[in-house]
Amino acid sequence: MLGLFASCKQPTNSMNVAIAPSLSETITKEKPGNISLSKQFKDYWYAGNAELTSYALEQARYGELRKGTAVLVYVTEPFLPGKQVKAERNDPDNIPVLKLNATKKFLTGMYPYSIMTSSFYPVNDGGHALKVATSIQEWCGQVYFQLNNREQYEYTSHSYFENEADQVLKMPKAILENELWNKIRINPEALPLGTFEVVPSFEYLRLGHKKMKSYAAELSMERSETFNIYSITYPELERSVSITFTKAFPYSIEGWTESYRSGFGMEAKKLTSRATKIKTLKTPYWRKNRNEDVSLRDSLGL
């Protein structure tokens, strides 16, 4: 499977950031990339449906694990490279992408958190994500952070914290942790392995008030007969992420773990967030908008 901050209390070590649906059901023209789309891929991803998978979530926040739910929504759509938005009409300049909308909902005591990250990645597995955006809402306020992939990465952030308000940053390109969740579904054999500079998930950077930049990371794969586990470890951040997915197409994500220090100051402790798959549905959810369709959420365990 994502400027965002989501705690009422400003941490002592605040982040230092530099200033600087209608869904298409047609296959748009392929753009140059590292792979050609197989019939299997097109039959699965261009059948007029999105793939929705729900997960039981244990999310670390403020030094405790919170129970909640997560949903990964994958869908293909044409992307307009100039405006960097979903294209509403066929055009030879459109870039076909696999979009991931990753959502989380959980409670911290009395008040709720709602987190969503959208990642747009070329289906031909070329280059980096074209766009990533994350928003976090809770009762203290809301924050928003967006990356646009142009000549450089262009970040824009908005936050309700005085010291982390409207900001703009440009930086060199590097692997984006958020784009790896798309890449797993397209071409997992091409996932980077070894030591690389990686920009951590926007959700983690915002919730942890970490500086927005790339960090050295170890990328590895553990393989079994049925599943693969792709891991990202950041020594400097004392953080690791492991994503479990099926070895066979469509490389479904069965769950994940994320370990890091949660909380602030002396009360911070190493905790492991965990998501476990509940159910997957293939459906054009954007059409399921009547009251009678609410029952479909039950089948997802939501």
pTM of the model: 0.88
Token pair for 149: 């992939």
For residue range 118-142, list pLDDT tens digits in order: 999 999 987 899 999 999 999 999 9
Share of the chain above pLDDT 90, in %: 71
Pairwise pLDDT comparison (161 vs 244), residue with the higher score:
244
Segment 235-250 shows an average pLDDT of 97
- Cα separation, 175 vs 234, in Å, equals 13
- Cα separation, 221 vs 214, in Å, equals 21
Using DSSP bridges, classify how beta strands 50-61 and 153-158 pair: parallel, antiparallel or unpaired. unpaired
DSSP state of 266: G
String of DSSP letters for 41-77: HHHHHTSS-EEEEEEEEEEEETTEEEEEEEEEEEEEE
β-pair partners for 230: 221, 243
For residue range 174-190, list pLDDT tens digits in order: 999 999 999 999 999 99
- Cα separation, 111 vs 248, in Å, equals 40
Locate the domains of the chain by residue range.
39-279
In the three-class reduction of DSSP (H, G, I as helix; E, B as strand; rest coil), residue 268 is classed as coil
Rounded to the nearest integer, the mean pLDDT of the chain is: 88
Q: Is 84 left (phi over 0), alpha (psi -120 to 50) or beta?
A: left
Quick one: which of 249, 233, 252 has its CA closest to 241?
A: 233
For residue range 62-111, list pLDDT tens digits in order: 999 999 999 999 999 999 888 888 888 888 889 999 999 999 999 999 99
For residue range 253-302, list pLDDT tens digits in order: 999 999 999 988 878 899 999 999 999 999 999 999 999 989 989 889 88
Q: Where are the beta strands (DSSP E) in 109-191?
A: 111-122, 131-138, 141-149, 153-158, 167-171, 175-176
Q: If you count DSSP H runs as helices and E runs as strands, how many of each does the chain have, helices first?
A: 4, 16
For residue range 194-229, list pLDDT tens digits in order: 999 999 999 999 898 888 899 999 999 999 999 999
Whether the Cβ atoms of residue 48 and residue 88 lie closer than 8 Å to each other: no
